Structure 1
Amino acid sequence: MNDTTPVPPASGLKANDLDAFWMPFTGNRQFKRAPRLFAGAEGMRYVTADGARVLDGTSGLWCVNAGHCRPKIVEAIRRQAGELDFAGTFQMGHPKAFECASRLVNMAPPGFDNVFFTNSGSEAVDTALKIAIAYHRVRGNASKTRLIGRERGYHGSNFGGMSVGGIAANRKLFGGAFIPGVDHLRHTHDLDRNAFSRGQPLYGAELADDLERLVTLHDASTIAAVIVEPVACSAGVLVPPQGYLERLAAICAKHDILLILDEVITAFGRLGAPFAAEYFGIRPDIITAAKGITNGAVPMGAVFVQGKIHDAFMTGPDAAIELYHGYTYSGHPLAAAACIATLDTLQEEGLLTRANELAPYWEEAVHSLKGMPHVIDVRNIGLIGAVEFEPIDGEPGKRAYDRFLEALRLGALVRATGDVIALAPPLIISKAEIDELIGIFTRALTSVRD
């Protein structure tokens, strides 16, 4: 194809045009028999290849917090691409990376004085795990190498994150090819006691004491870090019981175990605060972030560390590399520009706290789905919601997937994860659009027969 050959429109794609792309977390054969393609987006809506408008009920993939194609972000990327397309950050630098880091640190919880850039949430998690182990080593505690995750936790798809993660489907294909020295806390999902909770469930804070059991089993002198999501979104929006995270943080501090909060989804306003650590009033040692950091426009991730962690590495000769770790695209100019513009947009429009204003209305709307066919639980926190379905014998996940397809046909994008439909719209959503989203999803629930 030469430069003058017209490119066929997306709506004209044939099945064999789709073969080359091995899609992630997708049933490729099924998808390519009946592809679902977005060709445009603006504000709260996607536009399909056929021109239909679809209300975005998932912020893209938990990342487009400020809505799609925001002018300030688009222009920042365009301008940066024409000014400086790439500059590495190994032994060199560029101004945007430092400006971006300063902006992020200034909005982070107190004590988080330094940020390390990655390109995704998965990379941020692996970076955080490496920093945690290395931190104990540079302090003379080389035996503290064990990592503790949690059942039903998701921490990305790299080997480190997969090892501390606890979603069986993400692990079983890879056999025992995980990093050694990892154990898991029990998950907090308790339908018998907490079904249809509004906000944080009442029961389950004592599950944090499972860490004391693991300390007894392994000894604290071997445990480097515990990593948990404040809200386990990828496992179906598992909201932490009241007091659970506070209790977990206290046990970590007691045993000199670093607490890593995986905020790849919850950072940048999803719960009504810049970070979930602030929302829940806890003080972790490391925070991972990604997704909303650039509004999904350019891949980027970040690891925020308490000053004590960064400073522990700053010993030895000045020219010595303190941390043998990094990525070619750490602090990429386009990503840094997109991040700065995203922070401007979030702050200027009050989006970092807007979920607080919408949360009561959102809660009522989501819980209106109680009593719908096959619904066994409804959960919510901030601007996140979930509907769990009674599974079909021998066909796990089918009920949620069929309702995802039906909602899309009716004009709304929701997310199926196991037997759960998750909802997390952009923070710019209006009350009328909340009504529209829940209305479409209600019709989907009543129109699918199984």
Structure 2
Amino acid sequence: MTTPANTGSALWSAQAHMPSVLGRQLVIARGEGNYVFTTDGQRLFDGTAGLWHANIGHGREEMAEAAAQQMRTLETYHVFGRYLNDRAVELAEKVASLSPIADAKIILNSGGSDSIDVALKLARRYWQLQGRPEKTMILSRDLAYHGLHAYGTSVAGLDFNREGYGTDSLVPDTARFDTHDIEQVRRTVAEIGPHRIAAIIAEPVQGTGGVIPPAPGYLEGLQQIADEHDILLILDEVITGFGRTGHWFAAQRYGIRPHIIAMAKGISSGYSAVGGIIVAPEVWAPFYRTGAPIYRHGTTYSGHATSAALALKNIEIIEREGLLDRVLHLEGVLHAELDALAGDDRIEETRVAGLLGGIQLRPELSAERVTDAMVDEGWIARPLRGNVVQISPPFTTTDDELRGIVAATVSALDVVAADAKADSLAVAR
């Protein structure tokens, strides 16, 4: 086999078609507020908050100070067995106090994909402990994204994240259900048999699938199905948790009572690799009784002390600066800006939920080309499944910056549409 002549850096990029990105990669060297800077000096507005996570913006000095202070005291100590560290305990108590689940227990780990794995394993282990070993099926939504560990890959509703591994599902006993129609969901549950279903997992607002808010009554319908059929309801709030919808958790915005919430990203605004799950008492209690088995979870950096210190400081900043209210204000601004695009026939649909926005373009106008053109003008957006341009900037974004990125999207669309028309004319000749 011949090795390609130009393979670029030794770093193999994530989620990248490598032949397409070689020679086009942007190396980010610095962040400040709502902007990042490349190694060649280009200043870019971070219109996606990194991967949905840079909620308090970049380069916060007090975050650096919090990390340095914690490292001088105790960089970390594991939380296995009888050992704990004080910052992990403090973070768990803080998250429990913000949670929509009363009397919750918190499992900490290193990120969103970890959180999905530990949540879905717990769902199956719970039913085994309840003497119902037939309840192994995990149901997820079409177009869902739940990370890329084995469980996350297996429950993905995006086929491109599932294909090519030699089997339909890396972890057995998974199935998908309709993203919009709750009656279709009921039919799927009936066909599989509710007595076989351990859990339903859903993003309250689908992110990577194309910024898709829930249809009216949909999440309430999932709640009802779970309650009626003795099924655990798991909300994947890796994106929506810690303020992205204007509430600490989207479960609070939509009035849902999950058994487990998966979290990551916004818990630290990306200043540390931390995630975890929030567990309702009916699920954790059987593991706390005398004679209970061990739930075999835990990674080396579960409850990492410095990560916990950074997450605590991040939450403090969100509270101190009133950033949840800021998100609700910016949601109104984003709604107004995207609603103003309603007459543009190049746009099929716009969607907003909190500070999550999506602009779905007509198929012939590539969202990838639009976002590339935006970078040239100093704005970062991201193309998503369904030919959608994602807009989800930091909570610290100004009204003018939010209006600016929407205007930049339209300007880039003008360029791409003109190029497409020129290409069409050239073919016609």
TM class by shorter chain equals over 0.9
Work out the CA distance in 1 between the residues paired with 2:94 and 2:6.
46
Residue matched to 2:321: 349
SS in 2 for 1:408: helix
Identical columns (%): 33
- Show the counterpart of 2:238: 264
Q: Is 1:333 equivalent to 2:305 in the alignment?
A: yes
What's the counterpart of residue 71 of structure 1?
61
Q: Is the Cα–Cα contact under 8 Å of residues 373 and 446 in structure 1 kept in the other structure?
A: no
Q: Which runs of no fewer than 5 residues in structure 2 stay unpaired?
A: 421-429
Paired with 2:165 and 2:363, the residues of 1 have a C-alpha distance of 26
Are positions 1:187 and 2:179 aligned together? yes
CA distance in 2: counterparts of 1:32 and 1:26, whole angstroms: 10
SS in 1 for 2:390: strand
Structure 2 vs 1, CA of residues 70 and 223 (structure 1 numbering), >3 Å: closer, same or farther?
same
Range with bigger deviation, 336-345 or 437-446: 437-446
Q: 1:235 to 1:103 in 2, by over 3 A?
A: same
Counterpart contact for 1:314–1:322, Cα < 8 Å:
no
1:94 and 2:85 are equivalent in the alignment:
yes
User: What is the aligned counterpart of 2:151 among 132, 139, 160?
Assistant: 160
- The worse-fitting range, judged by mean Cα deviation, of 48-57 and 246-255 is 48-57
Matches within 5 A, 1:19-418: 19-91=9-81, 92-176=83-167, 177-188=169-180, 207-317=181-291, 322-372=294-344, 374-392=346-364, 399-418=366-385
Distance across 2 between alignment mates of 1:173 and 1:367: 40
Structure 1 position 85, deviation (Å): 1.8
Superposed CA offset, 1:301-349 (max 9, x none): 11001122111111234xx762112111101112101110011011111
Deviation at 1:148, TM superposition (A): 0.5
Q: Aligned pair in 2 of structure 1 residues 175, 400: CA closer, same or farther (>3 Å)? A: farther
Q: Is 1:269–1:353's contact at 8 Å kept on the other side of the alignment? A: no
Distance 1:321 1:328, change over 3 A: farther
The 10-residue stretch of structure 1 (121-130 or 84-93) with the greater mean CA deviation from structure 2: 84-93
How far residue 64 of structure 1 moved from its aligned partner, in angstroms, is 0.6
| Preserved contact between residue 272 and residue 310 of structure 2 (Cα < 8 Å) | yes
Corresponding residue for 1:202? none
Instruction: Tell me the matched-pair count.
Output: 411
User: Conserved in 1, the CA contact under 8 Å of 2:76 and 2:85?
Assistant: no
Structure 1 residues 353, 311: CA separation in 2 closer, same or farther (over 3 Å shift)? farther
**TM-score normalised by the chain length of structure 2:** 0.92
Structure 1 unaligned spans of 5+: 1-14, 189-206, 393-397
Q: Counterpart amino acid of 1:376?
A: E
Is 2:402 the counterpart of 1:434?
yes
Distance in 2 (CA, whole Å) between partners of 1:121 and 1:338 is 17
Q: Does structure 1 conserve the Cα–Cα contact (< 8 Å) formed by 2:115 and 2:277?
A: yes
Instruction: Answer whether contact 2:101 2:258 (CA < 8 A) is retained.
Output: no
Q: Residue 366 of structure 2 aligns to a residue in which SS?
A: helix
8 Å Cα contact 2:287-2:293 kept in structure 1 = no
Conserved? CA contact 1:105–1:114, under 8 Å: yes
Q: Post-superposition shift, 1:373?
A: 5.9
Contact 1:150 1:227 in 2 (8 A): yes
